[in-house]
Amino acid sequence: MSESHEKKYETAMFAGGCFWCMVSPFDVLEGIIEVKSGYSYGHVENPTYADVKSQTSGHYEVIQIIYDSEVIDYNKLLQAYWRQVDPTDEGGQFQDRGPSYRTAIFYTTKEQREKALASKKAMEEAKRFPGPIVTPILKAEKFYAAEEYHQDYYKKSPREYKLDRAVSGRDEFIKKYWGEEYYDIYK
């Protein structure tokens, strides 16, 4: 006699600048089912990349993560998130400027909200960065998947992805503020 066990996956959503650079660091974590690039928190229904890039739709570029919470805890996702962004920059991330490139943690449950607030407080108390942490913790709103060519961009267009990432300044920032500690969550 065997019982049917249906897994219940959870959803997390983060904004950290260009979504191309946010997918791969999460994609490699054990327990991640899917990472999708998309848009959220704006006022235009069914936005396109052109709408969001124009900085007039109000949307953030985001990643939506479906994960198995029995394998990976939300706190580990938060650790990975903080290591990808400059949480002190209100104007965007690295070479990408404007409201659609700001940072944000979007919670989908009360528990996620509590963990996100606690992780932000810990980041503030650690004083790792020279300025205040400005990343907001916001209630998740509707997620719109980005166009297909944006999905898994680092796999589909590895050369272009590496070039974009190389000139963005993201990797230099990560190395400066996280160094070898960056890799701790990937072990």
Per-residue pLDDT tens over the stretch 92-121: 999 999 999 999 999 999 999 999 999 999
Cα dihedral across residues 86, 102, 106, 52: positive or negative = negative
Edge-to-edge strands of the sheet including 10-16? 137-139, 103-107, 10-16, 60-67, 32-40, 143-145
Rounded to two decimals, what is the model's pTM?
A: 0.93
Active site (annotated) includes residue 18: yes
**Domains delineated in the chain:** 10-186 (3.30.1060.10)
Q: Of 18, 63, 105, 133, which is the active-site residue?
A: 18
Rounded to an integer, the average pLDDT of 157-185 is: 90
